[in-house]
């Protein structure tokens, strides 16, 4: 029974992963914040939820620690990117009643513990990708917790930068997992690390461009179409 379940969830994982691979570039290519961007972005998010959830399920029963950690990493980054859309109100600061939701504190806190464990596992087991992804996760969740404690308003457009980082990071993690398990002609650990080396520099470049524009006084609504999401407790 369990073997049959894992067999079918493996195919679900493959289908969801391929959907995410092809949908993410579409969401990036269309007008940011527009109806097409939101539609394909939502498809990508749920594809990553399914792919990450099935990866965690299969890896847990098969004792594949590294795949388990990768699934958790991609799932967290997808949630991080999605939840950022509900944090636009933090730009006004706590003095005007803006506070992070309990769910956001919980996600960041649990994420910090998981990624610290991933980093420690990588060091002890000598698994370089686990060290890299664990360190990235610790830095991401650590910065998020520090930002949640901030009493003043968030920098303009910070939610947008978090949104990009989370979704692109989830895509990188998914491509990395596919490469590590399928592209055997690339030697380890480069078959796992090449998506990070290729995709992170453009992400950093785009983020810096947005930051520079926001520092010069441009509003996020002038850079992308913005829909104010209701806050979620």
pLDDT tens-digit series, residues 189-198? 888 889 989 9
pLDDT tens digits, 83-142: 988 888 777 655 566 788 898 999 999 889 988 988 998 899 888 878 888 898 899 899
For residue 72, count other CB atoms closer than 10 A to its CB. 23
pLDDT tens digits, 149-190: 877 778 888 888 899 999 999 999 889 888 888 888 989 888
**Cα separation, 48 vs 38, whole angstroms:** 15
Model confidence at 23: pLDDT above 60: yes
**Placement of tokens 């420690």 in the chain:** 120
Cα dist. 23→16, 38, 39, 160, 171 in Å? 10, 12, 10, 19, 10
**Cα separation, 99 vs 96, whole angstroms:** 9
**Taking a C-beta distance cutoff of 8 angstroms, is the pair 30, 37 a contact?**
yes
**Placement of tokens 């999401």 in the chain:** 229
Average pLDDT over residues 192-221: 88
DSSP 92: G
**Predicted model pTM:** 0.86
Model confidence at 233: pLDDT above 60: no
**Placement of tokens 């009493």 in the chain:** 151
List the chain domain ranges: 2-223
């Amino acid at each position: 029974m369990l073997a049959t379940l894992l067999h079918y969830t493996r195919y679900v994982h493959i289908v969801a992963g391929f959907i995410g691979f092809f949908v993410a570039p579409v969401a990036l290519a269309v007008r940011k914040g527009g109806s097409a961007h939101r539609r394909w972005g939502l498809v990508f998010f749920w594809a990553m939820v399914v792919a990450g959830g099935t990866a965690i399920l299969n890896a847990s029963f098969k004792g594949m620690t590294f795949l388990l950690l990768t699934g958790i990493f991609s799932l967290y980054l997808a949630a991080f990117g999605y939840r950022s859309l509900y944090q636009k109100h933090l730009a006004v600061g706590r003095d005007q009643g803006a506070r992070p939701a309990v769910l956001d504190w919980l996600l960041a806190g649990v994420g910090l513990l998981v990624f610290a464990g991933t980093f420690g596992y990588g060091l002890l087991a000598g698994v370089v990708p686990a060290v890299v992804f664990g360190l990235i996760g610790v830095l991401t969740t650590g910065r998020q917790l520090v930002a949640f404690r901030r009493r003043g308003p968030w920098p303009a457009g910070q939610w947008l930068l978090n949104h990009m980082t989370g979704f692109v990071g989830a895509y990188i993690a998914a491509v990395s997992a596919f490469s590590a398990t399928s592209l055997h002609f690339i030697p380890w650990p480069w078959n796992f690390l090449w998506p990070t080396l290729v995709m992170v520099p453009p992400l950093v470049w785009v983020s810096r461009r947005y930051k520079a524009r926001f520092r010069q006084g441009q509003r996020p609504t002038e850079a992308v179409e913005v829909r104010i999401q209701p806050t979620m407790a």
